Amino acid sequence: MHRSNNGGFTSDQLERLNSSGKFEAWSYVFAGLRLSFNTRIQGSLAIPIELKYLENGGMRFIATGALTGKEILDANKTIYETEEKTLASVYQICDYRGVETIDVPTDDIRTLAERDKRAARINPNIIIAVVVGDDLAFGMTRMWQGLTSGAPFVNCVFRSMDEAERWVAEQLEATR
């Protein structure tokens, strides 16, 4: 199994992403091997979701403040934007602990589940850990889990980041 160490992007792709206006706040470490950026909605300065692509093929999805279904779907679309990015995805840790209010209609959860199942058909090795801080987010995530059951990727919901990180490490070790 091929694991990319630059989030699945070449230098040319990084330049195109940066110049497309889709992203702001870039940071590079060691000649582009580590990449971090914040996503941005068209016409808006920032959204409460930050995507951090890590050098080991992992990704941190960090949500804060008031969150809508549209924002989650926009970030999800960015994550699976191309088949190449989907294939390069090793794991995702989605952190919703900083969310203060959440407005995600059931239809958006269904759309999210369908997109994740489609991505899993391209890359069945994706590992997804979701960390939530309250009962509403926990319930919505469990609904997403139910809608993705049978998809060829592993996922789990946690209340603690330590537990999620430990689980992801165990999953990665099991695939070696």
Residue pLDDT, tens place only, 92-151: 999 999 999 999 999 999 999 999 999 999 999 999 999 999 999 999 999 999 999 999
Q: How far apart are CA 48 and CA 139, in angstroms?
A: 20
pLDDT of residue 133: 93
> Which tokens hold the place of 36?
């971090």
Identity of residue 59 = M
CATH of the domain at 135: 3.30.750.24
Whether 61 shows a pLDDT value over 80: the answer reads yes
Number of domains in the chain: 1
Q: Is residue 50 part of a domain?
A: yes
Q: Is residue 3 part of a domain?
A: no
Q: Is residue 2 part of a domain?
A: no
Q: Are strands 58-68 and 91-103 parallel, antiparallel or unpaired?
A: parallel
Q: Is residue 6 part of a domain?
A: no
CA 110, 147, 3, 38 dihedral sign is: positive
This model's pTM is above 0.85: no
78, 112 Cβ separation under 8 angstroms? no
Which domain, by its residues, includes 42? Answer: 11-174
Q: Is residue 53 part of a domain?
A: yes
Which of the pair, 34 or 142, is modelled with greater confidence? 142
Q: Is residue 165 part of a domain?
A: yes
108, 74 Cβ separation under 8 angstroms? no
Q: Is residue 95 part of a domain?
A: yes
99, 136 Cβ separation under 8 angstroms? no
164, 158 Cβ separation under 8 angstroms? yes
Q: Is residue 139 part of a domain?
A: yes
